């Protein structure tokens, strides 16, 4: 299914979905979680639910199924969403300009999660080939070509990043990096809670962080996610739907040197005239440091260096 030039999974989007989005009424206390697929959206949702719904008391949350707590904008029955108590958590992979206008008119808070595009592409490739009932790709090279052209579900990562990056200074928007959460989850939880206006004690923040690790989420997956929990957080390869068990830098196992360079060049093009964060910080995350990562030319009209992403070797 294609809408306004962007391909969408037919299991989640139809023309009727977008008609309903046009009339969707957001609330001022709605919380929107925006991310490109495989950037860790389920992880962010898990983190946000604790302070939002239970004000830092995770024990109350553990027995409540996921589908009673939030809604994905493209799959929910919108009449059902009206019955959700505030604050509602709305998760989406839509580009900025495809979201309902009422979200911006009512100044709902938006968390935008980014991840290194190379790791994102690899995780997305595995997702297509390991999850039943969605199209698979014959090879990594085939998927990479389609990813670079934006001919995958939810469209181009690059367009998604550019569209959101224009709003980096909006007061109701906060950018988060997957890699930053991996490096210091406690700090990430604190920043998220502060942005959303929740006052948590250090003990509450630590508790939320502890219960938001992949191991903790997997242990409680059937309680929190019902029948799909075992699939989302299974042991083995990776929990592909949540996208949180892949290690930073996994892209080096699949990317050819020419592919790594092609993506670097693509972001050089995308970065011209835009803030280096989050597009280039996301690209830089997990890359070699120091002598292994030679400096690229600065962004036009600035002194800000565009990070080089290093070699796939």
Q: Going from the first residue of the chain to its last (313 residues), give the mean pLDDT of each consecutive group of 10, the final group possibly shorter.
A: 88 83 90 93 88 58 49 70 82 92 95 93 87 82 96 93 90 93 93 92 90 78 57 48 58 93 86 54 55 35 33 37
Q: What's the confidence (pLDDT) of residue 308?
A: 35
**Closest Cα to residue 286, out of 145, 117, 82?**
117
Q: Which helix (H) or strand (E) holds 71?
A: strand 70-72
Query: Is 182:39 a contact under the CB 8 Å cutoff?
Result: no
- Cα distances from 119 to residues 56, 225, 293, in angstroms, run 31, 25, 17
Q: Is residue 280 part of a domain?
A: no
Q: Is residue 268 part of a domain?
A: yes
Q: Which residues are catalytic?
A: 93
Q: Is residue 296 part of a domain?
A: no
Q: Is residue 299 part of a domain?
A: no
How far is the C-alpha of 84 from the C-alpha of 65, rounded, in Å?
14
Q: What's the confidence (pLDDT) of residue 72?
A: 76
Q: Is residue 309 part of a domain?
A: no
Query: Is 278:175 a contact under the CB 8 Å cutoff?
Result: yes
Q: Is residue 291 part of a domain?
A: no
Beta bridge partners of 6: 3
Q: Is residue 147 part of a domain?
A: yes
Q: What's the confidence (pLDDT) of residue 152?
A: 93
Q: Is residue 311 part of a domain?
A: no
Q: For the chain, how many structural domains are there in total? A: 1
Q: What is the per-residue DSSP string for 193-220?
A: HHHHT----HHHHHHHHHTTSHHHHHHT
Q: What's the confidence (pLDDT) of residue 18?
A: 86
Q: What is the per-residue DSSP string for 75-118?
A: TS-HHHHHTSPSSPEEEE---GGGS-HHHHHTT-EEEEEE--HH
The set of residues, in sequence order, having a beta carbon less than 8 Å from that of 134 and lying 6+ positions away, is: 9, 11, 127, 128, 153
Query: Is 67:75 a contact under the CB 8 Å cutoff?
Result: no
Q: What's the confidence (pLDDT) of residue 242?
A: 44
Q: Where residue 126 sits, what CATH number does that domain have?
A: 3.40.50.300
- pTM, entire model: 0.80
Structural domain boundaries, residue 247: 2-274
């Amino acid at each position: 299914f294609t809408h306004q030039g962007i391909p969408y999974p037919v299991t989640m989007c139809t023309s009727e979905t977008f008609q309903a989005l046009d009339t969707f009424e957001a609330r001022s206390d709605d919380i929107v979680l925006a991310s490109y697929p495989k950037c860790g959206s389920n992880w962010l949702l898990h983190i946000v639910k604790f302070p939002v719904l239970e004000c830092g008391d995770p024990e109350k949350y553990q027995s409540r199924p996921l589908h009673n707590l939030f809604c994905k904008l493209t799959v929910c029955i919108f009449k059902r969403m009206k019955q959700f108590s505030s604050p509602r958590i709305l998760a989406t992979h839509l580009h900025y300009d495809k979201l309902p206008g009422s979200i911006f008119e009512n100044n709902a808070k938006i968390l935008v999660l980014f991840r290194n595009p190379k790791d994102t592409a690899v995780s997305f490739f595995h997702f297509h080939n390991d999850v039943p009932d969605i199209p698979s790709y014959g090879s990594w090279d085939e998927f990479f070509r389609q990813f670079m052209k934006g001919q995958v579900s939810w469209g181009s990562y690059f367009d998604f990043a550019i569209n959101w990056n224009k709003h980096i200074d909006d007061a109701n928007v906060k950018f988060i990096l997957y890699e930053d959460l991996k490096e210091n989850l406690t700090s990430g939880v604190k920043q998220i809670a502060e942005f959303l206006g929740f006052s948590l004690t250090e003990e509450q923040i630590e508790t939320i962080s502890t219960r938001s690790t992949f191991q903790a989420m997997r242990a409680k997956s059937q309680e929190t996610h019902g029948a799909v929990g075992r699939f989302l957080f299974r042991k083995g390869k990776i929990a592909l739907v949540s996208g949180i068990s892949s290690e930073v830098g996994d892209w080096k196992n699949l990317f050819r040197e020419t592919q790594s360079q092609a993506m670097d060049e693509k972001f050089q093009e995308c970065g011209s005239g835009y803030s280096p964060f989050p597009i280039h910080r996301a690209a830089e995350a997990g890359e070699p440091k120091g002598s292994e990562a030679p400096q690229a030319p600065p962004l036009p009209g600035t002194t800000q260096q565009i990070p080089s992403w290093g070699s796939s070797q």
